[in-house]
Structure 1
Amino acid sequence: MKQPQIFHARTSLTAALLLFTGLLLFSQMSVAAVKIESWMTPQGAKVMYVYSPQLPMLDIEVSFDAGSTRDGQDWGLAAFTAGLIGTATSTQNENQIADSFNRIGAQFGGSAERDRASFSLRTLTRQDVMQQAFQQYLMVLSEAQFKPEIIERERERLLLGIKQKSVNPQAMANDLLWANLYPNHPYGHPTSGDEKTVMGLTAKKIEQFYRQYYSANNAVISIVGDVDKARASELAEQLASHLPQGEKPKAVSAPQALSQAKKIQQTFASSQTYYSLAQLGIERGNKDYVPLFVGNHLFGGSGFGSYLMEEVREKRGLVYSVYSYFAPMKQPGPFIIGLSTKNASAKEAEQVVQETLQNFMQDFSEERLQAIKDNLIGGWPLRMDSNSKIIGYISMIGFYGLPLDYLDAFPEQIAKVSKQDVLQAWQRQIQPDKMLTVMVGQPQ
């Protein structure tokens, strides 16, 4: 993924405030219910808002449907564009922008992934500071300029990162997985592009992408902090009114699942083999998500509490770590099992993973399931113990159109999940005989 470009402010005011109040407010924030409100601006932007007065801080994140799925044939265009936001405006250069945020202790960041591009602001809510930070943020988003010298500098940096993949077996395995799991689909190409496509990214293409996708009716504006709803509404409308109107892009087509098992093996001169077993999973909002999520924690997503860790590491000592996860997106994202192991152990590790998956889908311990559920429910408040975590959640909820009570309902749904629910969901969604295997190394 494109690395965020972030200007950090290490001011004594912000640091002291967070250190002094963090521990005091931790328990209050952990147990407090998160009340999410949502509305549309006149310009068509969706607003997600949570009032959080515990700290005099404001977090804003604007997400656009402008991820790498919108690259077309210009792979890397979305990531390149997002990386250039914050390097120049109509009146400021890169250093002036950075100094403007740093001087008032504000933080700006941006990144692009497959589904979306997102840009964040964190600032104190003291009126003079917040106003300066917000105006700077507004200018960076709505008046971005793409200077030729910066484009060339960033192109060289991207090309260097792409070249480094050729000596990174884990990165190679990741690209092979996406390319073969999503052939002829926008999810399939690297978000950073390849050498040929990055060389073809021009200032004109970047400008056109920015004008087309960074528009009000293609935006989700998320606001969390010590500002009331009226002030949040004002901020959202100012943001939306400074963005072009644009047109909401068409939905990305659904990918096709593999019709049969497929194996990709790439020889790489290393002592380790990187192994993945994957298939299409589910989209955000799928009714099977909760039983799949709970089951995955038991199967491979909870570290030493998982069956994968028990079978592959603890019983046989084949790996240091092994994991599995679902990555739901606008269209079905992948379900991935991954590990790295000595070349001499690769084939054995592969066999154990496949057997563990098949066994799990037939039966597992109800007592261990209950322990996983208790752990997830007990730890749920910690997932929302800071404004930065809350804004991440509400931005996701807004972008993917999930219910506003998602955060409250999720632990309740976990509590209701039965062993039968998990087995049925996994048997519906997972097809062990039609999965993609990727191995990079010298497996034996």
Structure 2
Amino acid sequence: MSERKNLRAGLLGLIMVLAIGGLTILANRNAPTPAPATPAAAQQPASVGLQSLAELNNSTPARRTLHIEDWRTSSGTRVLFVAAPELPMFDLRLTFAAGSSQDGEYPGLAVLTNAMLNEGVPGMDTDAIARAFEDLGAQFSNGAYRDMAVVSLRSLTQATQREAALALFSQVIGQPSFPNEPLQRIKNQLLSSFEQYQHNPGKLASLALMATLYGDHPYAHPSEGTAQSIPPLRREQLQAFHRRAYSAGNAVIALVGDLSRSEAEAIAEQVSAALPAGPALPAVAAPNAPEASQQHIDYPSAQTHINLAQLGIPRNHPDWPALYLGNQIFGGGGFGSRLMEEIREKRGLTYGVYSAFSPMQVAGPFSISLQTRAEMTDGTLQLIREQLQQFLNEGPTAAELQRAKRELAGSFPLSTASNADIVGQLAAMAFYDLPLDQMERFMEQVQALSREQVREAMARHLDPQRLVVVTAGPQVAQQPLPEPGSSSESSNQPGRAH
């Protein structure tokens, strides 16, 4: 899952994010750049270090071994901490069960509350807050999604800067004043974005897909609210939501950096004590699976946006490793996936087609999305159904399975490449109540999977005849698909986005 850095700098970035799955984490590489070799060094025999890619011999890259410490503050907030003394800094992330699934009757309440946290505290307005963080060399970020709301701090660990940054951070999360002028400004920005949606067929299709897939469940409405729900929201409602959803009992803390255990405990106590007292909010109920359906949104464009979905799994489901690996092979792995091969490479119907499981607190969606020439819509839909059914019947080939495992093993070290990566992993573990050895266990489970285990897991959760389909584009006469490998030059040039 991306975070919104600051609403004043780019609210639209937050608005366009669908946090239906667990979290997408931004990689921030902090490794120092190696110094250039001196002439004398360049003349020395190259006897140490990697001399050729052939030396790798398909070995798995090394990854950092994490020692995760786990405790609760006196206010009841769970803390996961990893000491990382390599750099004189720390990353702190608070994750609250305060996403749009907690909006109730007021869609957009969670996003608006989160967006307003750094718009004012007693004695400081938004500009003063931003300048204070900048003067300290600290970074503040926040965002709200369907399951969760996130507030983060990055700071140097030197005592003077750390203490000042934490004091300001504690004010922002614990004493937001929700001033009316910034509130109206942010409402206007949201309303402006809603108007832009009307000119974005892909966005219209995705909104309709979630509404149809989830019905009356809290995941159904857009996280950012609607043109009807945002204007009536008042400062008092945001204050009440903050007291209820930003409580110490409704939060988890992830902390990574150049800190001792005692320093980490002190930071966690300070941050937890700054929050309103209160328990965790009740979890949202599991959604009911909808009937299969197909909906079309008429839009004047040269191509059609195609979205397909079905209910998937919650994040802690035991089938997650097999479903993740199976989806990588089917449509989640980019070039080389089944869908990309059959729809783009063989027939030239699209620039890209992707599938994904997005597990959340309760069943998140399994989705497939692409854009294609409007006259190829029906044939492309049928081809997708056929490819999914074939995968469920036969599973991956041995070569596909081996390649996917190898690629995952090669990319896995990146999950702990930086403090920001690690703090994101810790936050997800704590929020979804996953085992502390989740990363190692996940890799072991994936590498042990057989073709039949992957096929069985996919078949347990997916059915081509139960897909919810939403398309957005023009109503045009349909044409048959080109034969595999025989598409004309024009067929190989799908319509660009409009």
Q: 1:412, 1:154 → 2: CA distance?
A: 46
Call closer, same or farther: CA 1:104–1:327 in 2, change over 3 Å: same
2:6 corresponds in structure 1 to: 6
Amino acid at match of 1:97: I
Q: 2:198 aligns with which of 148, 166, 188?
A: 166
1:345 corresponds in structure 2 to: 376
Whether 1:311 aligns to 2:315 is no
SS of the residue aligned with 2:269?
Answer: helix
Q: CA deviation at 1:379?
A: 1.4
SS of the residue aligned with 1:346?
Answer: helix
TM-score, normalised to structure 2's length? 0.84
1:336 corresponds in structure 2 to: 367
Q: 2:254, 2:123 → 1: CA distance?
A: 27
Residues 10-409 of structure 1 correspond to what in structure 2 (within 5 A)? 21=32, 31-258=63-290, 260-363=291-394, 364-409=396-441
CA distances 1:14-47 after superposition (whole Å, capped 9, x unpaired): xxxx7772569xx9x9522122221111111010
SS of the residue aligned with 1:274?
Answer: strand
1:13 corresponds in structure 2 to: none
Q: CA deviation at 1:135?
A: 1.2
SS of the residue aligned with 1:119?
Answer: strand
Larger radius of gyration: 2
Residue identity over aligned pairs, in percent, reads 38
Q: 2:34, 2:224 → 1: CA distance?
A: 39
Q: CA deviation at 1:90?
A: 1.0
2:13 corresponds in structure 1 to: none
Q: 1:302, 1:187 → 2: CA distance?
A: 26
Q: 1:263, 1:155 → 2: CA distance?
A: 33
Gap regions ≥5 residues in structure 2:
10-28, 36-49, 51-60, 479-498
Whether the aligned pair in 2 keeps the contact of 1:2 and 1:192 (CA below 8 Å) is: no
SS of the residue aligned with 2:284?
Answer: coil
Work out the number of aligned pairs and report it. Answer: 433
CA distances 1:316-366 after superposition (whole Å, capped 9, x unpaired): 000000000000000000000110112122222212111111111111311
SS of the residue aligned with 1:361?
Answer: helix
2:25 corresponds in structure 1 to: none
CA distances 1:117-155 after superposition (whole Å, capped 9, x unpaired): 000001111221112111111111111111111111111
SS of the residue aligned with 1:122?
Answer: strand
Whether the aligned pair in 2 keeps the contact of 1:8 and 1:108 (CA below 8 Å) is: no
Q: 1:403, 1:326 → 2: CA distance?
A: 20
TM-score, normalised to structure 1's length? 0.94
User: Is the deviation greater in 130-139 or in 170-179?
Assistant: 130-139
Whether the aligned pair in 1 keeps the contact of 2:30 and 2:418 (CA below 8 Å) is: no
2:23 corresponds in structure 1 to: none
Whether the aligned pair in 2 keeps the contact of 1:67 and 1:117 (CA below 8 Å) is: yes
Amino acid at match of 2:232: G
SS of the residue aligned with 2:372?
Answer: strand
SS of the residue aligned with 2:101?
Answer: helix
Q: 1:157, 1:367 → 2: CA distance?
A: 49
Call closer, same or farther: CA 1:19–1:117 in 2, change over 3 Å: closer
Gap regions ≥5 residues in structure 1:
10-17
Amino acid at match of 1:261: A
Q: CA deviation at 1:3?
A: 6.7
Amino acid at match of 1:357: L
Call closer, same or farther: CA 1:65–1:48 in 2, change over 3 Å: same
Comparing both structures, which one devotes a greater share of its residues to helix? 1
SS of the residue aligned with 1:62?
Answer: strand
